[in-house]
Structure 1
Amino acid sequence: MQKSKIVYERSTAMFKHILVVFVGPKIKAKSFLVGLGIAKKFNSNIFAVDCVYKHPPRFHFFETKADKESVAKQKAKSLESLKKLERFANNANVQVTTKLVLTDAITDWVTDYVKSNRIDLLIMDYPHEPQYDIDLSADIIRAILEKVSVPVLSLRD
């Protein structure tokens, strides 16, 4: 009887820091809600990060007005979605940190974030968009799986 209590106490500290990463062009709530359920069960902190691939500018030396408008539109849409996820977490009484990342090296950014923030569980939303985006996102997800040393949960809609 005593032994099972010790095992249970260890398991409650299993996932103290959970990272939910959105790699595709849209944020789907399913991955976050699964992470939220796990965070609530283990009394964990949850981090929700939308990693947006920053396309290089059309001209190598400067961004055009269209480039800037495209980035601004994507940022606004992502921030709105992240605020919605914050409301879900606040309603569930779970501490959440949200972040929007514009980068041209998503794999490296996620790997570094996992290491520097001592993440215990990585949850990723598998892409469900047009074929080009799926291929790019799937390659990014495969690269992340190879580089991180924490458990990874990849969810598909």
Structure 2
Amino acid sequence: MFQNILVPFDLSNQSTRAFKVALDIAKNYNSKVTLLTCIEGDAWHHKYYDARADAELIKKQKKVSKKYLEKLEMSAKKNNVSIKSQIIASKSVVNDIVNFAKSRKHDLIVIGSHGRTGFDKLLLGSVANGVSQKTKCPVLIVK
């Protein structure tokens, strides 16, 4: 039923829970899992600072994300689940997740219900909600 599962991963506890659920589904359906981390940089840098500062921030975020993703990949391999991960620079996380899932023919997206909180959430809206509204494949939102 589900051959290719996409797990958007933002290093939050919710996305870690979503990964664990996706791992269980993958074991049951012999599915492949793809972890996707979208890195935005800092919106304020785009407006008030030069691009070098933003590029340096993205580089640091990629380094931190890579360490987390490597741990999750090891966990999947221990469970005999095929896994790969990708980190992309993003200007619109929701659109990038939806486009990534569509272009690579994912048939399920497993996403945490909340990642960012506080002021960022008010500015950016809910990624999980946006993905569930815009994608055509099933979305499992994990609390």
TM-score by length of 2: 0.84
8 Å CA contact retained: 2:11, 2:68:
no
Are 1:116 and 2:89 matched, yes or no?
no
Are 1:83 and 2:77 matched, yes or no?
no
Are 1:38 and 2:29 matched, yes or no?
no
State the alpha-carbon separation in 1 of the partners of residues 50 and 121 from structure 2: 28
Q: Aligned Cα RMSD in Å?
A: 2.2
Runs of 4+ in 1 over 4 A off after TM superposition: 58-61
8 Å CA contact retained: 1:119, 1:150:
yes
Structure 2 residue ranges without an equivalent (≥5): none
Name the % identity. Answer: 27
**1:136/1:20 Cα in 2 relative to 1: closer, same or farther (>3 Å)?**
farther
| Residue type at the aligned position of 1:91 | K
Structure 1 residue ranges without an equivalent (≥5): 1-13
TM-score by length of 1: 0.78
Partner of 2:140: 153
Q: CA deviation at 1:117?
A: 1.3
Are 1:72 and 2:74 matched, yes or no?
no
**1:30/1:15 Cα in 2 relative to 1: closer, same or farther (>3 Å)?**
same
Are 1:51 and 2:38 matched, yes or no?
yes
Partner of 2:51: 63
**1:69/1:124 Cα in 2 relative to 1: closer, same or farther (>3 Å)?**
same
State the alpha-carbon separation in 1 of the partners of residues 41 and 2 from structure 2: 31
Partner of 1:17: 4
| Residue type at the aligned position of 1:45 | K
8 Å CA contact retained: 1:25, 1:129:
no
State the alpha-carbon separation in 1 of the partners of residues 78 and 2 from structure 2: 20
Q: CA deviation at 1:132?
A: 1.8
